[in-house]
Amino acid sequence: MRILMVSDHADPLAKIGSKESGGQNIYVMNIAKLLAKHGHQVDVYTRWDQPSKQEVVQVSAGFRVIRVKAGPKGYMPRDDFLKIIPEFIARVKERIELEAISYDVVFSNYWFSGVIGLELAKQYDLPQTHVYHSIGQIRYETLKDVQPQSVDNNLFRIRNMWEKRIAQACANVLTTSPVERADIQRLFGIDEQKITCIPIGVDLKLFRPRSMATLRQKLKLPQDRPVVLFVGRLELRKGIGTLIKSLADIPKAELYIVGGGAGKAAQQLDTIEKTRLQKIAEDMHVTNRVHFLGAKQQAQVALYYAAADVCVVPSYYEPFGIVPIEAMATGTPVVASRTGGMRFTVVEDETGHLAKPKDHKDLASKINLVLERGKEAYTKAARRYVQQYFSWPKIAKDTSDFLQSLITPRQSSFELDTATNAEVSATESRGDKTTGSLFSI
């Protein structure tokens, strides 16, 4: 099978944690690499955002990253991508015709890629599947409450229109959590049989438990004080400000923030948010306990996870949340906001705890609970849970089978069953504690 994968703004080879890179980049990289290992040919088309980058990179046998000249060869805010879509499509068509490529399926990621994918699927008469990574209407509801000045009402109106069109036009929609599946059904009104749920995975060899004492010495972290870790982009919606406020109620704990821009333009944008966060730390009298470490490569991030007492994900909205499963794979418990997919990736009282979004007092109480119990109270359950449900090889096989089913339609063995769907709906309405059984796929 030859797969045309579109990830317009998320280059799978980008440095994770830098501006405009994160979970989607990790997802695309791992899925493409593992699909290639299953014997498929995968081409990932992404925007050429730096002159120094190669146009075509043969990542491994069967897996290429193809950078597309669309817009400037430099940093470009993601919300500006709408205007470069026609150029992006034209360049992909040029590549297809130049190499006389015959693809079997279009696999698009995020809504701009979905729009691109619709045209390519139509042009070449191919089935298309789509992963949203975030849903515009839900993102809009979040941002208008926490950052109203950043809300572009017209862009969200256009986005909502296209996201619905993508859902209706695609052969199938691929979701990464049951809550996202329920949201897509509710917002776009498509048949549940058209939605397949396969979660995002984690590299269990890279993200694994290690000696905390040894790692803290290596990373120059304190041995005698609790280490609280945040991993992610420096964005308001990530809730870092809430986490810093919570630190006032967590005695002696040190907060380490991993993430930030790598390029000059990205670092300039990060400076604005970092200044805001430093002001919060100053107001809460915790400045000397907040440490900004910048972006790190995945191998080093894995060490910070394993060295921490707790990893905190205080996002105001997170469609799936790859950070919790990476942290749990290292045996580190997670305290996360009770929002989006994290209601399903974090098992309450077993692998960590869920806190009220934007509530620094509740967040502090859950972090203190973990620190009082001790990391070891959660380590085995956290690692076991990730091994059972979030192993990349299993997810890659399910995804391979799923893509094959779009070419040769058949009953998909990895679908959530009717009973599970009913449980998801009931859970959504009740706000009950959720467990790993929802990922029995």
Q: 429 in a domain, yes or no?
A: no
Quick: pLDDT tens for 149-189: 666 788 889 999 999 999 999 999 999 888 889 899 999 99
The pLDDT, as a whole number, for residue 75 is 83
**158 and 219 assigned to the same domain:** no
State the chain's mean pLDDT as an integer.
Answer: 88
**216 and 193 assigned to the same domain:** no
pTM: 0.80
Quick: pLDDT tens for 270-293: 888 999 999 999 999 999 999 999
* Percent of the chain clearing pLDDT 90 (strictly above): 69
User: Does residue 87 surpass a pLDDT of 70?
Assistant: yes
Q: pLDDT grade, residue 78 (50/70/90)? A: confident
Q: 409 in a domain, yes or no?
A: no
**121 and 24 assigned to the same domain:** yes
The pLDDT, as a whole number, for residue 419 is 35
Q: Which of 172, 197, 222 is the last residue of a domain?
A: 197
Quick: pLDDT tens for 396-426: 999 999 999 998 754 433 443 333 333 334 4
Q: Which of 142, 166, 197 is the last residue of a domain?
A: 197
Note whether 276 and 303 are within 8 A (CB): no
**226 and 357 assigned to the same domain:** yes
More confident residue, 262 or 139: 139
Q: 427 in a domain, yes or no?
A: no
CA separation for the pair 339, 325 (Å, rounded): 15
Q: 207 in a domain, yes or no?
A: no
**138 and 228 assigned to the same domain:** no
The pLDDT, as a whole number, for residue 264 is 62
Q: Is 429 exposed, middle or buried, given 0-12, 13-18 or 19+ CB atoms closer than 10 A?
A: exposed
The pLDDT, as a whole number, for residue 411 is 40
**100 and 44 assigned to the same domain:** yes
User: Does residue 377 surpass a pLDDT of 80?
Assistant: yes
The pLDDT, as a whole number, for residue 421 is 39
**287 and 164 assigned to the same domain:** no
Q: 226 in a domain, yes or no?
A: yes
The pLDDT, as a whole number, for residue 410 is 41
**11 and 117 assigned to the same domain:** yes
**193 and 303 assigned to the same domain:** no
Q: Which of 169, 197, 225 is the last residue of a domain?
A: 197
Q: What is the CATH number of the domain that holds 173?
A: 3.40.50.2000
The pLDDT, as a whole number, for residue 113 is 97
Count of domains in the chain? 2
Q: pLDDT grade, residue 295 (50/70/90)? A: confident
Quick: pLDDT tens for 2-59: 999 999 999 998 866 555 567 788 899 999 999 999 999 999 999 999 899 999 999 9
Q: 336 in a domain, yes or no?
A: yes
Quick: pLDDT tens for 184-243: 999 999 998 999 999 999 999 999 999 999 999 999 999 999 999 999 989 888 999 999
The pLDDT, as a whole number, for residue 146 is 63
**19 and 162 assigned to the same domain:** yes
Q: 310 in a domain, yes or no?
A: yes
Q: 424 in a domain, yes or no?
A: no
**217 and 264 assigned to the same domain:** yes
**68 and 124 assigned to the same domain:** yes
The pLDDT, as a whole number, for residue 429 is 39
Find the domain containing 316 and state its range: 212-388
